[in-house]
């Protein structure tokens, strides 16, 4: 599949924003490390909202006709894309209420925690809906797996936890719980990503030119594609990446996304410093991961344009 930067930025930025908001609320609810100050909660919530809004604006730019984006909301019963939009829009009133009350510090704890709980629930459902846009497509084997929602949720919370740790480091709270929170999500995200790469590398369930045509007793090969120029199908669904470049990018994903942050965290311990640089490196790794997620996906329509296997 053609990897569009607008969609890559949207999924990475909004995933980190929703993950940060959910973890921020849970840290506030459980008074993690002695409890974040109201100022830290409002700053963290504002950063999460900025990331989510930037991601959503980027996704609107990806639409062929952005002025008709409102029509997508009417298909929420059958479309994961529509559900994603509905849940994302519904999230904002509760999230703004939670961040606003945290900033004003009016002492309305019951209302504050209720708004935060509803916004957190909607944040999780929105990220899940985003992942299901891809996971529900049976025509793309690399996406049609429960590992896709698991990866989206794990990476969103991992990048959100990194930002939350940076916020916690600016206050007087005990940093250890935030440190171990990042380590836990880092290990979980790395394990799920490795499992996903192992699964898509398995040829067992791949579609082939034989399964597409029904001819199984001889070698089938396309003589002529039927067109002399690229089409929408070949441009959007026929993106190819050389195997050696895919391997090099996978190595970069693990080095930048997981190995370097892990080594830095283990060496630095809970009293970490310089975390902004490592968080930036991890985000670069996640951006590369998301680019590969699209570039390595092979739609079965490629079997009718010369591919032997998808």
Render pLDDT for 246-270 as a digit per residue (tens, 0 to 9): 899 999 999 999 999 999 998 887 7
Render pLDDT for 3-55 as a digit per residue (tens, 0 to 9): 888 899 999 999 999 999 999 999 999 999 898 999 999 999 999 999 999 99
pTM: 0.91
Q: In the structure encoding, which two tokens stand for residue 256, read together?
A: 């930048």
Structure confidence at residue 212 as a pLDDT band (50, 70, 90): confident
- The more confident residue out of 55 and 224 is 55
pLDDT of residue 204 exceeding 70: no
* Distance from C-alpha of 187 to C-alpha of 175, rounded to nearest angstrom: 19
pLDDT of residue 213 exceeding 90: no
Render pLDDT for 108-158 as a digit per residue (tens, 0 to 9): 889 999 999 999 999 999 999 999 999 999 889 899 999 999 999 999 999
Cross-strand bridge partners of residue 140: 299
Average pLDDT taken over every residue of the chain: 89
Cross-strand bridge partners of residue 309: 208
162 φ, ψ to 5°? -60, -45
Render pLDDT for 230-242 as a digit per residue (tens, 0 to 9): 777 777 787 888 7
Per-residue confidence (pLDDT) for residue 205, from 0 to 100? 63
Per-residue confidence (pLDDT) for residue 93, from 0 to 100? 96
């Amino acid at each position: 599949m053609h990897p569009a930067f607008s969609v890559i930025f949207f999924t990475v930025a909004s995933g980190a924003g929703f993950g940060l908001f959910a973890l921020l609320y849970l840290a506030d609810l459980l008074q993690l490390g002695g409890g974040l100050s109201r100022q830290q909660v409002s700053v963290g919530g504002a950063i999460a909202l900025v990331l989510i809004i930037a991601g959503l604006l980027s996704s609107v730019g990806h639409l062929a006709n952005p002025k008709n984006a409102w029509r997508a909301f009417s298909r929420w019963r059958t479309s994961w894309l529509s559900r994603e939009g509905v849940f994302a829009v519904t999230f904002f009133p509760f999230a703004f209420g939670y961040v606003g009350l945290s900033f004003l510090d009016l002492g309305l704890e019951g209302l504050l925690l209720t708004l935060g709980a509803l916004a957190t629930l909607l944040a999780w459902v929105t990220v899940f809906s985003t992942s299901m846009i891809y996971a529900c497509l049976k025509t793309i084997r690399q996406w049609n797996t429960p590992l896709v929602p698991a990866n989206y949720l794990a990476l969103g919370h991992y990048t959100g936890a990194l930002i939350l740790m940076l916020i916690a480091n600016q206050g007087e709270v005990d940093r250890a719980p935030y440190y171990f929170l990042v380590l836990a999500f880092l290990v979980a995200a790395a394990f799920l990503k490795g499992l996903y790469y192992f699964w898509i590398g398995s040829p067992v369930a791949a579609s082939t030119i034989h399964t597409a045509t029904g001819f199984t007793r001889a070698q089938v090969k396309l003589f002529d594609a039927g067109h002399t120029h690229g089409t929408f199908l070949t441009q959007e669904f026929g993106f190819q990446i050389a195997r050696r470049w895919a391997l090099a990018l996978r190595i970069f994903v693990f080095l930048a996304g997981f190995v370097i942050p892990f080594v830095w965290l283990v060496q630095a311990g809970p009293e970490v410093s310089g975390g902004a640089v490592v968080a930036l490196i991890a985000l670069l790794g996640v951006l590369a991961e998301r680019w590969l997620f699209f570039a390595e996906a092979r739609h079965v329509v490629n079997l009718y344009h010369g591919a032997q296997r998808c």
